[in-house]
Structure 1
C-alpha cells in the first residue's frame, strides 16, 4: 500500500499546495554526506514585476486581494466596474489566492513575472492566461483531483467489503489502490525531473516529502537555472541544518533512552529492553504512512528469523490520535513491542532521534550504541546477522 485516504496525522497541510492529507507521502529519511556547493546563501535574483489584469462577469465594488498561503494580504487593487489591474513585484513565482471584494470564494493562481490575464465567469469558474507556471500547476492538480477521487471511491468500497466480510474483494481493492498510488508517485517524480527546469519543478520538490538525498541530488541539477530563487536557497539551508543535526544519530553514537507506553499503558524503556536482548531494531512509523506499512511484512520476517537469536523490534508510533494507532495495531499486527509517543514527550524524542519523516529505523546494541540506520532488504538482514554474530 502506498496511498490511502486517512486523517492528517502530523503532516503539514497547506490549502494551497498539494493536499497531502489524502496521501501517505512521507518517505524514508536517509543519512548522507554531501559536498554543499555554497556555505552561504548565493545571490538572490532580483524581484520581477508582474501585472494581473482581471475581467469579472459583472460590475463589482471594493478591491481585489491577492493572499499568501497563510491568508495574509500580499497585494491589492481597486475594482473599477468589472475590471481590475493589479501590479507588483515578486521575489519569485508562487501560488496565491485571489479574492474578489469580500467574496468567500478564493481563486488559486500561480503568479510569475509577466503580464497575466484573469477572467472570472458568473458560475465561479475562471481562467488565467500569461502564466506558463499556472498551466503546469493546473495540469498537476487536475491529475491530483482525479487520483483523490479514485482513492475516495476505493476507500468507500473497501469499507463496504470489510463490513460484508468479502476478503477477496477487499484484497482486489487494495491491489487497485496500489496501482493508483504508483501511478501518482510516478507522475509526480516525472514532473520533478522534467526538463527544461522551471520554478514548478522546485515547487513540487519542496512539497514532495522526498528523502533528503534525493532532494540534494535534484537541487544540484536545478542549481544553474533555479539556484538564485529564495525557495531553492532556503531549502538547501534547511537540508544542511538537518545533515548537521543528524550527527547526533550517527553510527557509534549513544542512543537516547526513551520510556514509552504500550497499548495497555505499561511503560518500557529502551535500556530495559536492550539489556534483556542482544540487538534492538527501533522503527518509527505512523498509521497513515504507506511506506511504513509496506515494510511491516519484511520486519515480521526478520523478527521471526532472528528473535530466538536475540533480536527485538520496538515500533514507535508518531500518530497524533491513539485511536488511529490502536486501529492499525489490530488491522496490521506489526511485529515486536509496539509503543506510542505521548504528546508531552513527542517533541523531545523526535528531536533526539531527528525524526522529520517516517519510516525511520535504528539498530541499537546492548550497550545502547547506534549500529545501523535506515537499512532495508538484504542489507538490513545481513547487518542484523553480523551484529548478532558479534555477541555469540
Structure 2
C-alpha cells in the first residue's frame, strides 16, 4: 500500500481515536502553576500528533500566564486523549526540561505544576499514573543528570581524562541513566495502556532501539496496526533518503565529476550548471538560504572573490534552499549576492541538495573547466581559487 493511502487511512483512525464516535461530551479543567516570574508568557494547547506524520496539529486554544497560573477548559468525547501544552520562553527562563509537555486530557480537574525538574501532573487517574511512572522517571533522570554534570566538572578540573574520554564517559553514563529511569518507567505505563490512543502515543515517543526486546515482543501486536504500517513506511523512506545522501556524498567528493543542477532565476529563467561549466574556467557553487546567518555573512567575501577573478573565468552560482519566494527575493535585494542566483523553492527536498549529499549550509563546491570537483567547503577559499588560476 502506498504511503499516501496509508496516511489517509491513518488520519481517519487518528481522528476516530481523538474524537470518539460516542456523542457524550465530558468536561475537563486544566490549570497550570508556575513561578510568578513567568507572568506574561503565552500558553498554547494542541492535540498531540505522532511525530512521523507530515501533518502537524494547530493550537485549539491559547492564554497568558497571570499570577503564576494559566487555565484551559473544554470538552472531550468518551475516551481520554493526549494534548500538548506549550509555553513560550519556558526553557529560556530556567525550566530546563523544555517548552512543551504532554498532558492526558480526561474528565475532571487536571493540575500541572512546573518546577526546575519538569512538571508534576495530578487530578485525574491517568495523569496521576503518568506522573508516578514516566513523570517520576524524568525527574529522577534530571537529578542524575545534574549529578553527572557535577562529576564531569570535577573530572575536568583534575585533568585525568582527555576531552574525548570525558565526553564519552558522560554520554555513556547519561544513556545508561536514561534507560534505567525514563525508558523502564515508560515501558510500564505503555503496557498498562496498551490498545488505547494514550498507550500508542507514548509508545512512539521513544526510539524502538531503546526498548527492551521482551517488552517489544509483548507490546508490538497491541499497537494500532495502521500506525505501525505508517511508521514503518516513513522509516523506510527516511532510510532510503539517508542512504542516497550518503552515496551522494561519496560520489561528489573531491576528484569526482559534478552533478547537474537545474534551477531558476528570480525572473523564471532556467539555469543549468553544465552550461556554466562549459563557459567558465571555474564555477563556485554556493548552497545557501535567506534565513541562514552564516550564509549571509559569507556574501561580502564571495562578492570580493567574484570581483577579483570574474575576468579570469570565475562564475558563482548561488543555489538557495528557500521555500518562500518573497523571502528569497527580499534577501537578494538587500544583500545583492554575486553571480547567478537560482532557487526551485523545494527547500531541503531540493534535488540539488540531495544530489550533493549535505545536511548543513552554507556549503561551497568548486568545479573546474573539465567538470571535476576540486574543493568542498574550503575555509581558505580565496587561496584555493588563487592557486587554481595561477596554474
TM-score range, shorter chain: 0.3 to 0.5
* Greater relative contact order structure (CA < 8 Å, 6+ sep): 1
The structure number with the bigger radius of gyration is 2
Whichever structure has more helix as a proportion of its residues is 2
**TM-score when scaled to structure 1?**
0.46
**TM-score when scaled to structure 2?**
0.46
